[in-house]
Amino acid sequence: MDYNKIVQGILDIGEAMLQSGAENFRLEDSFYRMCRSYGFKRSDVFVIPSNIQVTVETPEGEIITQIRHIESTGADYDKLNYLNAMSRYVCSHNPDEKELARRFKKVMARPDQSELITGLAQITGGTAFAVFFGCDLQDAVVALIVCLMIVLVGGWLSRREGNPMIYNLILAFLSEVVIVTAVRSGLGHHPDRIMIGIVMLLISGLSTTNGIRDLLQKDFISGSINIMNSMLGASGIAFGTAIPMILFGGVEAEGFILTPNLIVQLISCTAACVGFALWFKIRGMQVVYCGIGAFFTWLIYALVYEARPSNFLATTIAATFVAFYAFIMSRINKAPSTIFLTASVFPLIPGPNLYYVMYGCVSQDPQMVFDETIILLATCLAIAFGFIIVDVASRSIMHAMKREYHIGKSALNLPLIGGKK
CB 202 within 8 A of CB 154: no
pLDDT of residue 409: 59
Beta bridge partners of 45: 54
Q: Is the pLDDT reported for residue 294 higher than 80?
A: yes
Instruction: Specify if 421 maps to a domain.
Output: no
Q: Which of 69, 92, 112 is the last residue of a domain?
A: 112
Note the Cα 112 to chain centre separation in Å: 19
Whether residues 171 and 313 share a domain: the answer is yes
172 and 64 share a domain? Answer: no
Task: Give the helix/strand (H/E) hosting 44.
Answer: strand 42-48
For residue 418, is it within any domain? no
Give me the chain's average pLDDT, please: 86
Same domain, 263 and 330: yes
Question: How many whole angstroms separate alpha carbon 22 and alpha carbon 251?
Answer: 39
Pairwise pLDDT comparison (150 vs 258), residue with the higher score = 150
Contact indicator for 316, 335 with CB cutoff of 8 Å: no
Instruction: Name the domain boundary from 79, 112, 145.
Output: 112
Helices first, then strands: H and E counts in the chain? 16, 3
**DSSP 8-state code for residue 410:** G
Reading phi first (left if > 0) and then psi (alpha if -120 to 50, else beta), residue 66 is in beta
CB 36 within 8 A of CB 212: no
Question: Which element (helix H / strand E) includes 55?
Answer: strand 51-57
- Give tens-digit pLDDT for 14-23: 999 998 988 8
Residue 408 covered by a domain? no
Q: Is the model's pLDDT at 257 over the cut of 80?
A: no
Kindly report which listed range (133-142, 268-277, 403-412) carries the lowest average pLDDT score.
403-412
Residue % of the chain over a pLDDT of 90: 44
Q: How far apart are CA 338 and CA 22, in angstroms?
A: 7
Residue 67 — φ and ψ, nearest 5°? -130, 140
73 pLDDT exceeds 90? no
Q: 62, 90, 112 — which closes off a domain?
A: 112
Least confident of 216-225, 271-280, 363-372: 216-225
Give the DSSP per-residue string, 197-231.
Answer: HHHHHHHTTS-HHHHHHHHHTT-HHHHHHHHHHHH
179 and 270 in a common domain: yes
From CA 203, how far away is CA 188, in angstroms rounded? 23
Comparison of pLDDT for 160 and 264, the residue scoring more: 264
**What total of structural domains would you count in the chain?**
2
Do 81 and 134 share a structural domain? no
Per-residue pLDDT, 417: 41
Residues 261 and 356 in one domain: yes
Task: Please report the DSSP string for 110-146 in residue order.
Answer: SPPPPHHHHHHHHHHHHHHHHHHTT--HHHHHHHHHH
Residue with more model confidence, 36 or 317: 317
Q: Are residues 52 and 84 in the same domain?
A: yes
- Same domain? For 316 and 393 the reply is yes
Decide if 166 is inside a domain: yes
410 within some domain: no
Determine the Cα–Cα distance for residues 174 and 105; give it in Å rounded to an integer: 40
Give 243's pLDDT tier (boundaries 50, 70, 90): confident
- In which band, very low, low, confident or very high, does the pLDDT at 268 lie, cut at 50, 70 and 90? very high
Q: Evaluate whether residue 283 is within a structural domain.
A: yes
- Put the strands of the sheet holding 51-57 in their side by side order: 42-48, 51-57, 63-69
Query: Where does residue 382 rank: exposed (0-12), middle (13-18), buried (19+ CB within 10 A)?
Result: buried
Which range marks the domain in which residue 54 is found? 3-112
Alpha helices in 38-136 (DSSP H): 77-93, 97-108, 115-132
Question: Which whole number is the average pLDDT over 271-291?
Answer: 94
Return left, alpha or beta for 294; rule: phi > 0 is left, psi -120 to 50 is alpha, else beta. Answer: alpha
In a domain? residue 412: no
Q: How far apart are CA 101 and CA 96, in angstroms?
A: 9
Res 414: pLDDT: 46
The answer on 348 and 214 residing in a single domain is: yes
- Confirm whether 415 is domain-assigned: no
The 10s digit of each residue's pLDDT in 389-418 is 998 888 788 777 777 666 565 555 444 444
Same domain (yes/no): 108, 124: no
Please say whether the beta carbons of 24 and 77 come within 8 A. Answer: no
**Angle at Cα 175 formed by Cα 116 and Cα 276, nearest 5°?**
40
250: left (phi over 0), alpha (psi -120 to 50) or beta: left
CA 374-380-385 angle, 5° bins:
120
Residues 250 and 160 in one domain: yes
55 pLDDT exceeds 90? yes
Same domain, 223 and 180: yes
CA dihedral for 380, 47, 14, 393, sign (positive or negative):
negative
Per-residue CA distances from 305 to 302, 322, 347 (Å): 5, 16, 14
pLDDT tens, position by position, 315-365: 999 999 999 999 999 989 988 888 999 889 999 988 888 778 877 887 788
Mean pLDDT across 132-158:
91
pLDDT of residue 222: 76
- Give residue 251's pLDDT band: very low, low, confident or very high (50, 70, 90): low
- Residue 367: CB atoms within 10 A of its CB come to 8
Q: What is the mean pLDDT of residues 75-81?
A: 91
